[in-house]
Structure 1
Amino acid sequence: MELRFELKQLQLKETFSIAYGNYNKREALLVELSYQNCKGYGECVAIDYYQINLQHFVLKLKEMQVQIEAQKIIHPKNFFQFLLNLNIHPFLLSALDCAYWDLFGKLENKSFIELNHLTAENLVESTITISVGEIGHQIEKINRSKWNKFKVKCKGLNKDHVEKLLSLSLDIALDSNASFTDENCIWLQENAEVKKFSYLEQPKPIDQYRILKKEGFANWMADEDCQNIDALEELIPYYKSVNIKLMKCGGLTPALEMIRKARELHYKIMIGCMTESSVGISAGCVLTGLVDYADLDGANLISNDYASGSFVENGKIILSPKPGLGIELK
């Protein structure tokens, strides 16, 4: 097996504004695993509020290269166990795990869906993200869009803005990226109108969720608070829903296990994304038959997508019929 990797830059179509800051580009690390004539691809991106340094990942890949290339072709779940022994950051672990699933499926001439006996029917629709901005501008973007589901970013709580969004009678979620106060959260979870929002994502900074009440009107969804399977039991009294992102939990292999566990604990589940190319989005798309919500618009937000595979068109998930994850570089 051969390992290759390359740093890429993803250009956003417009400035992406969230509570953490404003972004015009994202750095990405593309990972390629190849064997015979087949190539599998995975990806991770630099997110400042996760303190991700892709240069460190490049050094780690160089350090591990001989060990990875010496591996025989085995089942992806066994390959993942091998990767766990290498002490890899979850973001990089996800890129390698997804690349190997893509490669293995191409070698077996079977899709990830077939290999895992998953459904490719009745897939949930994805939201499109509406950046932080003046409320009139946000509503104008929503009204112009051909998508049916929206995730509206906010920085802090403006009750007038909440009322204006609710008056649209559309499928809207709120994502404050940890910018709500305790008082904001109490008001939201005690306000019956708030149950019209499909969910309210990551209201408070990491580990400050104890003000939240699962029994309230707000469908609180954990993002940064839910990094991996270990968080699920602890969050039960506070969150109704969890956002599972492949980079947070370490890839497709742990995501499957995390979805199973979250179902057992009666959570609503979303498969989410960062700003990613179609490499990362194709991996997320294959799990949309297992979840209640999807937020997989990452590749729709960039202007220089360097790959093709599964994709999202006006919210509809279109799965690639090709083997593995169906990823090809342009």
Structure 2
Amino acid sequence: MKICLKKHVLPLKHTFSISRESHDFQDTLIVGLTLDGQTGYGEATSNPYYNSTVESMMAEIEAIRSSIEKYQLTTPEVFHAFLLSKGLSNFAVCALDLAAHDLYGKLQNQPLHKIWGTTADQYPTTNYTIGIAPIKEMVAKMKETPWPIYKIKLGTDDDVAIVRELRKHTDAVFRIDANCAWTALETINNAPLLRDLGVEFLEQPLKAEDWEGMEKVMHHSVLPVIADESCIVETDVEKCALHYNGINIKLTKCGGLTPALRMIQKGKEMGLKVMVGCMTESTVGISAIAQLLPQLDYVDMDGALLLKEDIASGVRILNDGTVLFPEIPGSGVTLL
């Protein structure tokens, strides 16, 4: 296989703020794997919370470039195990794993969701994320992009008041993501107020390691709670089942589609609601997530919608949340 690595800096339509950071651009790594005239593309974004940069990922991959280029691809799953044996970070593995899946699908001339035995006839609607900002800006963002489901980022001193004001301007479903900013008591107290404001669920209200607090929340919250920062890799699923109603799987965190598929299966076996989320990826990463749609209860795949400029074509999402799958097999990705 021939491998190509390229850093892109993705400009955002608006400053994106959550409880712990803000940014106007998203650095991302695009990996291309070429074999037999076909090229598969994968992606992993940088993330300061997980100490991952594009430069660090590129350095890891360059260190084993010769091994990758000599590798005889059979299936993405076997390739993923090979990458783990080389000690790569999950973010670097994700970019390579997504590229391998896209390549494999293109070589098989089938979209990934069909290879996995699913059909894209029915799927959950993605939410559209509204980052933390002055309330007028948050309202303006909603009006700019009317959507059936919004994920509202919170973690301020006036969180309930923010949701109450936003509710005046839309009938859309709300999902709340506090990104670890609340305490157990805040979560329990906020839940009934937010439920009455049309909130569907709460995502990661407490710090990732606050399992004792989450046990209290699970006993007293009137809203379901979904794990994000508490659910990173496959071994986290079982523990989350005792402390959350569902899990939000991120491909970059867990290491790609290969472990994500296993996490989805494990989550369902344990009675959890299953969601897959994004990290403000371009259409490269979003198209990979879209292949999982038939297996999910919820999805957050609005990353490319938040960009001022995209770098690829693939899956398209219309203003009503409808997903248009490309005719190209694999993940359906083509770089622009």
Query: Above 0.5 in TM-score?
Result: yes
Residue 218 of structure 2 is aligned to residue 214 of structure 1:
yes
Cα separation, 2, equivalents of 1:223 and 1:193: 20
Cα separation, 2, equivalents of 1:211 and 1:49: 21
Deviations 1:295-317 (CA, angstroms, capped at 9, x unpaired): 10101111221111112222222
Cα separation, 2, equivalents of 1:34 and 1:69: 9
Q: Which amino acid aligns with 1:7?
A: K
Which of 238, 245, 248 is equivalent to 2:243?
238
> 1:45: which partner in 2?
45
Alpha carbons 2:240, 2:247 under 8 Å: kept: no
* Percentage identity across paired residues of the two chains: 33
> 2:128: which partner in 1?
128
Cα deviation, residue 239, structure 1? 1.0
> 1:267: which partner in 2?
272
Q: Which amino acid aligns with 1:6?
A: K
Alpha carbons 1:151, 1:175 under 8 Å: kept: yes
> 1:198: which partner in 2?
200
Cα deviation, residue 76, structure 1? 1.5
Cα deviation, residue 169, structure 1? 4.2
Residue 179 of structure 2 is aligned to residue 177 of structure 1:
yes
DSSP 3-state at the match of 2:64: helix
> 1:163: which partner in 2?
164
Deviations 1:164-222 (CA, angstroms, capped at 9, x unpaired): 44565420111111111233112134658359411111112221142233242121111
Alpha carbons 2:5, 2:29 under 8 Å: kept: yes
Deviations 1:223-256 (CA, angstroms, capped at 9, x unpaired): 1110012111212232111111111111111111
> 1:323: which partner in 2?
329
> 2:5: which partner in 1?
5
Alpha carbons 1:120, 1:289 under 8 Å: kept: yes
Rate the CA distance shift 1:189–1:15 in 2: closer, same or farther, 3 A.
closer
Alpha carbons 2:175, 2:202 under 8 Å: kept: yes
> 1:152: which partner in 2?
152
Cα deviation, residue 144, structure 1? 4.3
DSSP 3-state at the match of 2:146: coil
Rate the CA distance shift 1:165–1:267 in 2: closer, same or farther, 3 A.
farther
| TM-score, length of structure 1 as denominator length | 0.94
Displacement over 6 Å in runs of 4+? none
Residue 141 of structure 2 is aligned to residue 141 of structure 1:
yes
Q: Is the deviation greater in 304-313 or in 259-268?
A: 304-313
> 1:55: which partner in 2?
55
Q: What's the C-alpha RMSD, in Å, of the aligned pairs?
A: 1.8
Give unmatched runs, 5+ long, in structure 2.
none
Alpha carbons 1:276, 1:299 under 8 Å: kept: yes
Cα separation, 1, equivalents of 2:118 and 2:88: 28
Which of 251, 259, 277 is equivalent to 2:256?
251
Cα deviation, residue 61, structure 1? 1.1
